[in-house]
Amino acid sequence: MSISNVKLILMRELRDQLRDRRTLFTIAVLPLLLYPLLGMAFLQVAQFTQQHPTKIWVIGANELAEDPVLIRDSAFPPELCLSLDVSNLLQLELEEDRQRLGEDDDPDTAAREAVQDGEFDAVIYFPPEFREQLEQFRDRLPDRATPVGDVLNKAVIKVPSPRIYYDTARDESRIAHDRVSSVLQKWREEIGRMNLEKSQMPLAVARPFELLRNDVAVEEQRRAAIWSKILPFIVFIWALTGAFHPAIDLCAGEKERGTLETLLCSPAGRTEIVLGKLLTVLIFSVATSLLNLASMGFTGTFILGRLQAFEGNMLGVHLGPPPLVATGWLILALIPLAALFSALSLAIAALARSAKEGQYYLMPLLLIMMPLMMLPMLPAVRLDLGTALIPVTGMMLLLQSLMEAEYAEALNYALPVIGVTVLCCLLAVRWAVDQFNNESVLFRESERLDLGLWLRHLVRDREDTPTVGEALLCGVALLVIRFFANFLDMPKDWNDLFVLTCVTQIAFIATPALLMAIMLTRRPGKTLLLRMPRLTAIPAAILLAICLHPAAMLLAQFVQHLYPLDEGVQQVLADLFGQAPNIWVVLLMVAVLPAICEELAFRGFILSGLRHMGHKWRAIAFSSLFFGVMHGILQQSVAATVVGCVIGYLAVQTGSILPCIAYHLTHNSLAVLASQMAPESVQGIPANEWMIRFAEDGFSYQWPVTLTGTTIALMLLYWFRNLPYQMSNEEELQQTLDHQTIPESRAMG
């Protein structure tokens, strides 16, 4: 790969984008103009809301006591309001001023209608005898002859409650409710105070103590805590959207304009082209994000300042600009994530034939990324090993820790977060390079979507083994069927579980794969790897499963530690399996059936098709991913993906499904036996303490056994590696391309 070519392409693309008015507008002009304009509009609306007068209808105002006064000169007295402004904004209409209630009218109905019709923002209703009851209550307070408790309880019960009518569906009515509630609460406190005075009791009876709050966070920490929740989301969402436009222009746009072919016949390699374009998209993604951040920051700080001036300190902290160190961490974390977003956008945009099509294709990426970015904003989500391994989410949580200066926590999980992000980046870049090497992607012609034509094409143009598309279709179809199978009734007992598992394995996994192999390929036997391997391969596969079992258990325990399975689910599963008549039926259900059905589908149809990609390890990885996701429960999926890689390797090296079935059967059988293992069942076995141990989380192997097993397993895998295996045409071609070593000087000669 030539770095100078990458640099040349980068510089050209940068210059090209900077000469594009649409790009400049989206990246620079839009954030600089949009946010100040939005901010001004927001302030206007906020100001309007704050100054909007509230119309209140008071029914039964004549029921109010004169002391303490609630309504004076047809208005609430300013001392009961938050401020003089609020007092002026509350416009009261008293029942006495307007005879809207007839003799027979129900005040409750009238109040509801008045609010619902929008005639008033709120209605306060004081029921009849409210004043009398309140005065009676107060008058009887000093009567010490009656036991105090009885008097008070009776008195309180007799005072009828005033009612506030409001409509939460209208903003004005909600604001009216808040304002009126505040006034009435103050008025009630005043009545309470007078009652205490009347009964010659100190005010401390009602408020025996005051709560003193001591927030130990320093100003900067509080600011950092607030910013660490807001900023990463804003910055990363803009990084993602900022990658969209250049990615579409550099891929779909170039295809549309015809310049991509010009570049493809130049000496620049596909990897160089992708890297040059990727760096361009990355730069624009980062620039968009930072410019938006700066513009939003300035506008936001200004607006918050104005709002705080109006309404006081709403957030409990003066929200100044984020601390400088926090901003530094943010920019540092932005680069790898922007690289990931850029590579994904570029790969997806390469699929599109036009800029318009590119916009459609990139929308799902946004929909996938949004939940990953919003997850860290939930209060209960903390940075741990489990969350650190989730792409994007882990990086956002790590960033939150760094911004809040929790360096010890951040340091603990920095490695897995960076590892996962770098891995995702590399995979995304690889995918983008593959897209640029794929003729059907680069030169795809517009075809009308016709289901009939497509189905006819699938059957008419069959190959010996499935195409990559057919393999992916099978994998996705199995996952969709699996998803809908979840809606079947939950098993209530062992019989239900047994039937459900058998139906799932046979009808939902094996049958679709078999049908697709028969209908979509010319040689179903070759597709499903139905051939005898060399005889030693089957016992070798069984031995491999046995030797890898301690490591597999260790992996399962590690996954369980990372993502603990809900105890309720564990208990339900234990209860169901506890009802099994004998272990043989369990083995049939958990080991034999999945070993046959799942192998036919995942190592048979799907892996055979995916091998047309030209990379056996990529085919193994993708088929294993399908196999893992199929297991449904995250804890099982992770372990199944790893096991799927081992079985996939056996399938490729032996060219037969039988060693795969043997491995799968052995692996699952050992898992069942291990779950049934109890301390008393191994008593009497010589040296069992040396080999196994029992802890709270169950049975596990001693480490020398795990180590020895893994070593033998590696030797067995080496043996499998040396078996001659049949490559697909695409794998042969790729190998030829990978091994060509023609000196560059010959080319120039």
Nearer to another protein, 458 or 543 (CB): 458
Question: Which residues, 255 to 284, sit near another protein by CB under 8 A?
Answer: 257-259, 261-262, 264-269
Rounded Cα gap, residues 732 and 251, in angstroms: 29
Residue 521: what are its φ and ψ, rounded to 5°?
Answer: -130, 155
Cα→Cα distances 183→81, 87, 128, 191, Å: 6, 9, 21, 13
* Least gap, CB of 297 to another protein (angstroms): 32
The pairing of strands 163-165 and 692-695 is unpaired
Q: Which of 203, 314, 411, 453 binds another protein (CB under 8 A)?
A: 453
Q: What is the DSSP string of 401-430?
A: HHHTT-HHHHHHHHHHHHHHHHHHHHHHHH
The pairing of strands 698-701 and 163-165 is unpaired
Region of 321 please: left (phi>0), alpha (psi -120 to 50) or beta. Answer: beta
Tell me: does residue 446 bind another protein (CB under 8 A).
no
Stretch that binds another protein, among 14-22, 497-505, 542-550, 586-594 (CB under 8 A): 14-22
Nearer to another protein, 255 or 667 (CB): 255
Nearer to another protein, 268 or 517 (CB): 268
Residue type at position 16: D
Residue 91: what are its φ and ψ, rounded to 5°?
Answer: -95, 115
Residue 463 DSSP label: B
Nearer to another protein, 40 or 733 (CB): 733
Nearer to another protein, 267 or 684 (CB): 267
* Least gap, CB of 3 to another protein (angstroms): 12
Nearer to another protein, 535 or 748 (CB): 748
Rounded Cα gap, residues 334 and 286, in angstroms: 7
Rounded Cα gap, residues 204 and 375, in angstroms: 46
Helix (H, G, I), strand (E, B) or coil at 93: strand
Question: Which residues, 710 to 739, sit near another protein by CB under 8 A?
Answer: 733, 736-737
Stretch that binds another protein, among 112-120, 449-457, 500-508, 631-639 (CB under 8 A): 449-457
* Least gap, CB of 251 to another protein (angstroms): 15
Nearer to another protein, 279 or 692 (CB): 279
* Least gap, CB of 256 to another protein (angstroms): 10
Three-state DSSP string of 493-538: CHHHHHHHHHHHHHHHHHHHHHHHHHHHECCHHHHCCCCCCCCCHH
For the CA atoms of 13, 14, 18, 20, the dihedral, rounded to the nearest 10 degrees, stands at 20
Contact 341, 424 (CB under 8 A): no
* Least gap, CB of 742 to another protein (angstroms): 5
Say how many residues touch another protein, by CB under 8 A: 41
Stretch that binds another protein, among 24-32, 92-100, 456-464, 558-566 (CB under 8 A): 456-464
Tell me: does residue 117 bind another protein (CB under 8 A).
no
* Least gap, CB of 52 to another protein (angstroms): 51
* Least gap, CB of 284 to another protein (angstroms): 15
Rounded Cα gap, residues 295 and 313, in angstroms: 23
Nearer to another protein, 470 or 598 (CB): 470
Residue tagged 């804890």 (tokens): 635
Q: Which of 67, 117, 210, 445 binds another protein (CB under 8 A)?
A: 445
Q: Which of 117, 439, 680, 697 binds another protein (CB under 8 A)?
A: 439
* Least gap, CB of 354 to another protein (angstroms): 15
Contacts of 13 (CB under 8 A, 6+ apart): 250, 276, 277, 280
Tell me: does residue 5 bind another protein (CB under 8 A).
yes
Stretch that binds another protein, among 84-92, 94-102, 143-151, 447-455 (CB under 8 A): 447-455
The pairing of strands 122-125 and 698-701 is unpaired
Question: Which residues, 460 to 489, sit near another protein by CB under 8 A?
Answer: 460-461
Stretch that binds another protein, among 12-20, 348-356, 565-573, 596-604 (CB under 8 A): 12-20
Which token pair is 127? 């029921």
* Least gap, CB of 504 to another protein (angstroms): 33
Question: Which residues, 18 to 47, sit near another protein by CB under 8 A?
Answer: 19-20
Tell me: does residue 523 bind another protein (CB under 8 A).
no
* Least gap, CB of 19 to another protein (angstroms): 4
Contact 398, 333 (CB under 8 A): yes
* Least gap, CB of 356 to another protein (angstroms): 18
* Least gap, CB of 255 to another protein (angstroms): 10
Cα→Cα distances 290→161, 328, 401, Å: 55, 12, 20
For the CA atoms of 605, 608, 610, 613, the dihedral, rounded to the nearest 10 degrees, stands at -160
* Least gap, CB of 10 to another protein (angstroms): 12
- Residues of this chain that interact with another protein (CB under 8 A) are 2, 4-5, 8-9, 12, 15-16, 19-20, 257-259, 261-262, 264-269, 439, 442-443, 445, 447, 450, 453-454, 457, 460-461, 733, 736-737, 740, 742, 744, 746-748
